[in-house]
Amino acid sequence: MAPLSIDESKLDGFLPGALGRWNGELYAVGLWDAACAIFARKSVLEANGIRIPTLDNPWNQEEFDAALVTLQGSGDFEYALDLGMAWTGEWYPYAFGPFLQSFGGDIINVETNMANDALNGDAGIAFGEFWQSLFARDLVPGTSQDGADRETGFIEGQYALQWNGNWAALPALDAFGDDMLFLPAPDFGTGPKIGAASWQFGISATSEHKDGASAFIEFAIQDKYLSAFSQGIGLIPPTAEASAMTPNYSAGGPLEVFYGLSNEQATLRAVTPAYVVAGKVFEKAMADIANGADVADTLDTAADEIDADIDQNSGYQ
């Protein structure tokens, strides 16, 4: 990949998740952003006496936990919360990594370039124990969740809450209309966090037409095209202006909340090429802990494996 030669002023107001930076250079720009939220129904929360959290005042860990226990106890649902364990692959680090970060841990500590102590430190283990307890108490479906249930379980009332991305928001809105809520991620200690993500345009280092490609990207990131893109595929426009031009995401629009989520809570995943391996290792660790593996041992092994990979690549420098 080659750095982009794009006028920085054109990038003002871009959501952080839509820009790919590495070593201070801009390498990629995304035409949209994605954000996760807790999908919920107002009527269900009210009936169970659960406070509706806001961006400024999200649930803390106790509240979140109590809400799940209450919902599970109501007996109306198979599971209180659906985390999306059926979606193996990128989903795990993207959707669950931020929980770990909110606990104060991380997959890789960007400063030390190591997973040890970030992933398996006290914060990491606290997260792991909490994670395991969700499965042990049958509050969430486990790794053998059926992919079809992940798709339809919330809309069909099998699950009270669902941790999902804005790409799934429209069907949920269709099903529940005004009753539908998109809640911010809980604050597990160091503030609420969600993953930021987009597919991005970049230029191959071997491209013969770097300038032409840069020009194309500059052209495509004008607000009107970003807005049109979002209307076409339903994802979050990466600038405030484009957002205002897109009915679903403009002020008062049904998905406006996602722009706020993306703007306020989004945390970039570890910006390092080590992420390819680290993401896979993290996924396996999350699955194993969900299935009852010893938390500290599992996180130790995962951290060692990520560090060994970084070492083997001479730190990916």
> Contact region for another protein (CB under 8 A) — 13-21, 47-55, 98-106, 272-280?
272-280
162 with 153: CB under 8 angstroms? yes
Minimum distance from residue 154 beta carbon to another protein (Å): 13
Minimum distance from residue 146 beta carbon to another protein (Å): 6
Among the listed residues 54, 143, 190, 204, the single contact to another protein using CB under 8 A: 143
**Per CB under 8 A, does 155 bind another protein?**
no
The single-letter DSSP state of residue 25 is E
Minimum distance from residue 212 beta carbon to another protein (Å): 20
Torsions phi, psi for 266 (to 5 deg): -65, 130
Which of 225, 222, 248 is CA-nearest to residue 12?
222
At residue 134, the 3 state secondary structure works out as helix
CA distance 298 to 317: 27
103 with 126: CB under 8 angstroms? yes
**Per CB under 8 A, does 256 bind another protein?**
no
**Per CB under 8 A, does 309 bind another protein?**
yes
Among the listed residues 12, 144, 178, 252, the single contact to another protein using CB under 8 A: 144
Which CB sits closer to another protein, 142 or 189? 142
Strands 266-267 and 194-195: parallel
Among the listed residues 48, 90, 104, 142, the single contact to another protein using CB under 8 A: 142
At residue 236, the 3 state secondary structure works out as strand
Which CB sits closer to another protein, 46 or 129? 129
CA distance 83 to 97: 12
**Per CB under 8 A, does 147 bind another protein?**
yes
Instruction: Enter the tokens of residue 125.
Output: 């283990």
Among the listed residues 6, 66, 167, 234, the single contact to another protein using CB under 8 A: 167
Which CB sits closer to another protein, 147 or 247? 147
169 with 258: CB under 8 angstroms? yes
Minimum distance from residue 86 beta carbon to another protein (Å): 8
CA distance 49 to 60: 16
Which CB sits closer to another protein, 66 or 155? 155
**Per CB under 8 A, does 212 bind another protein?**
no
**Per CB under 8 A, does 47 bind another protein?**
no
**Per CB under 8 A, does 146 bind another protein?**
yes
CA distance 76 to 95: 26
**Per CB under 8 A, does 170 bind another protein?**
no
Secondary element (H or E) of residue 275: helix 275-290
Residue linked to tokens 């083997």? 312
Q: How far is CA 108 from CA 164, 169, 304, in A?
A: 24, 30, 11
Window 284-303: residues binding another protein (CB under 8 A)? 287-288, 291-293, 296-297, 300-301
**Per CB under 8 A, does 314 bind another protein?**
yes
Residues 6+ apart with CB under 8 A from 62: none
**Per CB under 8 A, does 57 bind another protein?**
no
**Per CB under 8 A, does 233 bind another protein?**
no
Interior angle at CA 68, CA 270 and CA 170, nearest 5: 65
Among the listed residues 181, 196, 280, 285, the single contact to another protein using CB under 8 A: 280
> Contact region for another protein (CB under 8 A) — 69-77, 137-145, 193-201, 244-252?
137-145
313 with 274: CB under 8 angstroms? yes
The residues binding another protein (CB under 8 A) are: 86, 88, 142-144, 146-152, 167, 276-277, 280, 287-288, 291-293, 296-297, 300-301, 304, 309, 312-314
